[in-house]
Structure 1
Amino acid sequence: MLPSINLPFIKLAASLGASVDELKLIASFLFSYPLAAVLKRLPDNKPWQKNAFSIAVSLFYLVGLFDLWAGLRTVLISSAGAYLIASKVAGPWMPWLGFVFLMGHMSVSHIYRQFVNDPSLVDITGLLDFAGYVLFFPSLFAGPAFDYVDYRQWIEATMFDVPPGTDPAHYPKTRKKRKIPRSGTPAAIKAVIGLFWILAFLQFSSWYNASLVLGDSYMQHGFLRRVWLLEALGLTTRMKYYGVWALTEGACILSGMGYKGINPKTGKIDWNRLQNVNPWGIETAQNSRAYLENWNMNTNNWLRYYMYLRVTPKGKKPGFRASLATFVTSAFWHGFYPGYYLSFVLAAFLQTIAKNFRRHVRPFFLTTDGQQPTKYKVYYDLMSYIATQTAFCFTTAPFVLLTLPDSILVWARVYFYTVIGVILSTAFFASPGKLWLIKRLKARNQSAVPKAQKEKIHQQQLLGLPEDPGADIGEVVAEIKSEVEARQRRGSKIEMPTAEEMRKIIGEKTGKKLD
């Protein structure tokens, strides 16, 4: 650590009531803005300068600002191991070997912290490039996460190539000979948003914190009031993440890494490549999918492509086992506090239950063609919103409390309402009740189908075609699209199938031969 660097933070911490390390972390996010502006202005044709600058800043953060020599050692071991595995090991076992090594090494770090301190197809060619990727300072401490192929496209400036046919009037505005477009305004907006959430967290955390729900005064309130306070604790905790991720995303935007391309509808640049959280999407979520998709979005993408889909057998749709494996992996990544596992395992059950409700209950509140809401849909939406928000404030409480005794205590103080709901819902959808819902929905829809349409459906069935060939083919196209996107994220070269190959694929998936 640099001499006397702690003095201003100690004085500021005493006046604000925050910890020195928290203020240092926020300061590092703010320092990253002018430094990212410098990084963007380094020559595009000299990527080694950008790598060296990024590495130097990250080293200053780790050992000059925080004195994290042990942290630097941890980063070096993980990155060196990952580099050697990716560059030297070939074949389908490479990604699994990398996964086991990184998770194993991280587990050692988590155990030390907890009990002592209480196949990639990317061409890994340059050690300096890989080191620059690992030590990319705008996202060093808190993300957002992104793939190595994204970093290569940024460092080589190919990310900013304008697609053929783009209107010259919509070309990104740049300075001098740089290819990286101007990004000061969107970065500044993210900085303001991030500071707003940080200030809100500092204020709200003095009202709603772990000691509130663990204290005796919590039980002086009625049940609904206790649930509300649990929701307030969850919102306050999320504010911290909203602020941190907005600040780091802004620094990435200023460096140019947040560039996503030109929006074909507006003709303007989208800077949301590394958007990591959507607060509005979370706070208004009416189901678990919307809630989870808007949280830690880049890490969720990684979990989806490299865990959720990878553990799913080929030709099968992801189910509960894939969800559980994904959530357990996420918990494992966070550490070994029991609270993480309580939260993530319960979230896996919530996601499966939400799918069942959406599939078997929600259609009753839509028109028979499933395209338009009925007049009762607003009541379903309201109940879905309340159920989602109250279920997740219960589910995420252990994530904040960490220890098993504290987590069980708080859950017991609200009578385990989400656990009971999960048990009842799981039992219902595993019982004849599910078949009853299916029959009721089928009878409802058939009674509304005109006679002529019934005859048409009957004729299609006689011809041996599926009732909804468009849906079957749509599923195949969606599956192919998902695979293409996954390969693009890994930097693979994509070759589109021929017409004959496409007919064969669709025939295999739908069970029908296409001539």
Structure 2
Amino acid sequence: MLPHINTPFAYVAGILGASPDELKLITSFLLSYPFAGVLKRIPDSKPALKNLFIIWQGHRAVGASANDFFLFSVSSFYLVGLFDLWGGIRTLAISSIGAYCIAAYVQGPFMPWIGFVFLMGHLSVNQLARQFVGDPGAVDITGAQMVLVMKLSAFCWNVADGRQPEHELSDFQKERAVKQLPSLLNFAGYVLFFPSLFAGPAFDYVDYKRWIECTMFDLPAGVDPSKRAPTKKARKIPRSGTPAMWKAAAGLGWILLFLKLSGWYWPDLLTGDEYTTYGFARRVFILHMVGFTVRLKYYGVWALTEGACILSGLGYKGVDPVTGKIAWDRLCNVNPWGVESAQNTRAYLGNWNMNTNSWLRNYIYLRVTPKGKKPGFRASMATFVTSAFWHGFYPGYYLAFVLASFIQTVAKNFRRCFRPFFINTKTSQPMPNKIYYDIFSWLVTQLAFSFTVAPFILLTLPASFLVWARVYFYAVIGTAFSTAFFASPAKPYMMKMVSERTGKAAGGLKRTESTESLTSKEPVYGLPGDPSKDLDEAMSEVRAEMEARQRKGKGTVMTQ
């Protein structure tokens, strides 16, 4: 750590009631903006220089003589200049070098899984070490390592895809396949990309390669050249200052709101004696506000990091061929409005930590499934376990995950059985009274997740059960009663009524984004789409395996 650098952060932290490490983390996000501005201005024809800037940045050491300079990478300055995480450099180096060597020297179909196990195992060791230290306010390397696990495990899969015949790959795999192992310089730049070092967003190596070579900004064939995004001088990277500043402003707004509300709604309030003096309705409201306040911190952090990526140009997603409007949401990691206005579990989870959702889907769920088969129980379970282990080993995480999976199943059943009664069968448009359904489903979804995420915040089982008991386990009881209701003859009766109603429409109700959420079996954020069906499928697989072995055993006896 640079001499005396902690002093101003400790002073401001004492005023705001935050920890010095949290303030330094926000500072690192803000410093990424001027660094990203410089990075963007390095000539497009010199990608190696861009990599070197990411890896090595000249910085005068505090207290050094005029002739003494230390070379720091921007990322290294964050790690050891601000946080004194010397061990963090070693940790990132082990993961990065290990993944690169596995991708380079291990052949065969198991290479990506070897890389995945290595990366997750290394992360798990550090997650457990952090848990034993027990200081959630301190910044350690596990946050950066979680991002790196996504990037490097995806990298191993991309390299494996590059070794396969193209006709065996999906469109997604073809687009992201790495056919030639990158140079160490390119790989180091990808690993140490400073705007997303600590908190993401994660992205694939192909995105980084296209960005640093500026092929990302080429217009697709057939698009009018006049629709090309405006640039400065001879640069290919479009002007991105305005959208980046809007993101920065939004991020700072979320952070300021977090600082304001955290003085009123903080996690320890839920476990304190004062909480028991309130009535049930106010306890539930406070529980919701504590969760909302915690989310504000993530909204702010992810907006700030995304803004720095936009400023560097990496957030560029393309140009609308009709309007010429530029999209800068390639690395969008959260949609706050989508979360806070969600009327169902899939919308709630799908708008949260979107890059992790994408990683779990494309590099776990779809990869577990053998070619030619549809994903089933094994894919869902592998995704669920990966998501849980990736977050860490606090028991509160697993408590929240298990309850959320059952809530998601109940929510799907409710939407299947009740939502069609608020849709016009002739036009497939919402009826006037659907506003009441929307308000009710929004309220239930938000309150259910306010209850569910409490263990994610409190981390320990005693604290989680204490808080749940203080609100009378309302989400657990509601989920249990709902599960019993849909396991009774009531569900077939309701579905019969739905069929009769939708059958009156020609061809039934039209499929919409909302109805797609009912039929999709893919897990969101690692949660199984329908745990009951997954369990039924697992039992069917076990029975089929046992019957196959019995037949094989009988055949062996007969031949003898």
Normalising by structure 2, we get a TM-score of: 0.77
Q: Output the amino acid matched with 2:347.
A: A
1:144 aligns with 2:180: no
1:86 aligns with 2:143: no
Secondary structure in structure 1 of the residue aligned to 2:236:
coil
Q: Output the amino acid matched with 2:100.
A: Y
Secondary structure in structure 2 of the residue aligned to 1:266:
coil
Contact 1:263/1:269, CA 8 A, preserved across alignment: yes
> Identity rate of aligned residues, in percent?
67
Contact 1:320/1:348, CA 8 A, preserved across alignment: no
Which of 88, 113, 116 matches 1:96? 113
1:432-471, aligned counterparts within 5 Å? Answer: 432-446=489-503, 448=504
Q: Take 1:426 and 1:94, find their aligned partners in 2: how far apart are those partners?
A: 42
Q: 1:210 to 1:282 in 2, by over 3 A?
A: same
1:215 to partner: Cα distance: 0.9
Partner of 1:108: 125
1:131 aligns with 2:188: yes
Partner of 1:161: 218
Which of 50, 53, 70 matches 2:87? 70
Q: Take 1:469 and 1:13, find their aligned partners in 2: how far apart are those partners?
A: 55
1:427 to partner: Cα distance: 2.8
Partner of 1:496: none
Contact 1:327/1:345, CA 8 A, preserved across alignment: no
Q: Take 2:483 and 2:184, find their aligned partners in 1: how far apart are those partners?
A: 50
Q: Take 1:420 and 1:311, find their aligned partners in 2: how far apart are those partners?
A: 34
Q: Take 1:63 and 1:96, find their aligned partners in 2: how far apart are those partners?
A: 32
Q: Take 1:412 and 1:299, find their aligned partners in 2: how far apart are those partners?
A: 31
Q: Take 2:483 and 2:489, find their aligned partners in 1: how far apart are those partners?
A: 12
Contact 1:286/1:384, CA 8 A, preserved across alignment: yes
Q: Take 2:510 and 2:483, find their aligned partners in 1: how far apart are those partners?
A: 31
Q: Take 1:151 and 1:10, find their aligned partners in 2: how far apart are those partners?
A: 36
- What CA RMSD, in Å, does the superposition of the two structures yield over aligned residues? 2.5
1:26 aligns with 2:26: yes
| Uncovered stretches (5+) of structure 2, i.e. residues with no partner | 56-72, 136-156, 162-177, 523-560
Partner of 2:423: 366
Q: Output the amino acid matched with 1:17.
A: G
1:432 to partner: Cα distance: 2.9
Q: Output the amino acid matched with 2:454.
A: A
Which of 356, 379, 384 matches 1:299? 356
Partner of 1:222: 279
1:41 aligns with 2:41: yes
Secondary structure in structure 1 of the residue aligned to 2:367:
coil
1:171 aligns with 2:188: no
1:182 aligns with 2:182: no
Partner of 1:499: none
Partner of 1:460: none
1:421 to partner: Cα distance: 1.9
1:323 to partner: Cα distance: 4.8
Normalising by structure 1, we get a TM-score of: 0.84
Q: 1:416 to 1:264 in 2, by over 3 A?
A: farther
Secondary structure in structure 2 of the residue aligned to 1:310:
helix
1:249 aligns with 2:266: no
Q: Take 2:233 and 2:501, find their aligned partners in 1: how far apart are those partners?
A: 65
Q: Take 1:372 and 1:86, find their aligned partners in 2: how far apart are those partners?
A: 51
Q: Take 1:222 and 1:470, find their aligned partners in 2: how far apart are those partners?
A: 43
1:8 aligns with 2:20: no
Contact 1:328/1:341, CA 8 A, preserved across alignment: no
Contact 2:291/2:450, CA 8 A, preserved across alignment: yes
Q: 1:430 to 1:318 in 2, by over 3 A?
A: farther
Q: 1:468 to 1:445 in 2, by over 3 A?
A: closer
1:408 to partner: Cα distance: 0.7
Residues 416-475 of structure 1 show CA distances to partners (whole Å, capped at 9, x for unaligned) of: 1111222222233333332222212122334x35xxx7xxx9xxxxxxxxx99999xxx9
Q: 1:70 to 1:470 in 2, by over 3 A?
A: closer
1:260 aligns with 2:317: yes
1:309 to partner: Cα distance: 3.1
1:128 to partner: Cα distance: 1.4
Partner of 1:497: none
Q: How many residue pairs end up in the alignment?
A: 459
1:369 to partner: Cα distance: 5.1
Residues 472-501 of structure 1 show CA distances to partners (whole Å, capped at 9, x for unaligned) of: xxx9xx99xx9xxxxxxxxxxxxxxxxxxx
Q: 1:317 to 1:427 in 2, by over 3 A?
A: farther
Q: Take 1:171 and 1:281, find their aligned partners in 2: how far apart are those partners?
A: 30
Q: Which of 162-171 and 313-322 deviates more?
A: 313-322
Q: Take 1:207 and 1:266, find their aligned partners in 2: how far apart are those partners?
A: 45
Q: Take 2:373 and 2:481, find their aligned partners in 1: how far apart are those partners?
A: 27
Secondary structure in structure 2 of the residue aligned to 1:309:
helix
Q: Take 2:228 and 2:510, find their aligned partners in 1: how far apart are those partners?
A: 42
Q: Take 2:287 and 2:376, find their aligned partners in 1: how far apart are those partners?
A: 30
Q: Take 1:48 and 1:42, find their aligned partners in 2: how far apart are those partners?
A: 10
Residues 376-428 of structure 1 show CA distances to partners (whole Å, capped at 9, x for unaligned) of: 32221111101100000101111110111001100111111111222222233
Which of 439, 451, 454 matches 1:382? 439
Residues 200-249 of structure 1 show CA distances to partners (whole Å, capped at 9, x for unaligned) of: 11111011011211111111111111111000001100110011111111
Q: Take 2:101 and 2:407, find their aligned partners in 1: how far apart are those partners?
A: 39
Secondary structure in structure 1 of the residue aligned to 2:121:
helix
Q: Take 1:315 and 1:411, find their aligned partners in 2: how far apart are those partners?
A: 44
Contact 2:428/2:510, CA 8 A, preserved across alignment: no
Q: Output the amino acid matched with 2:115.
A: G
Q: Take 2:371 and 2:96, find their aligned partners in 1: how far apart are those partners?
A: 31
Residues 319-352 of structure 1 show CA distances to partners (whole Å, capped at 9, x for unaligned) of: 6775554343222111111111111222222222
1:248-397, aligned counterparts within 5 Å? Answer: 248-311=305-368, 322-323=379-380, 325-368=382-425, 371-397=428-454
Residues 158-201 of structure 1 show CA distances to partners (whole Å, capped at 9, x for unaligned) of: 11111122223221111222111110111111111111111111
Contact 1:363/1:370, CA 8 A, preserved across alignment: no
Q: Output the amino acid matched with 2:108.
A: G
Contact 1:30/1:247, CA 8 A, preserved across alignment: yes
Q: 1:106 to 1:380 in 2, by over 3 A?
A: same
Which of 447, 450, 462 matches 1:405? 462
Contact 2:219/2:225, CA 8 A, preserved across alignment: no
Partner of 2:480: 423
1:46 to partner: Cα distance: 1.8
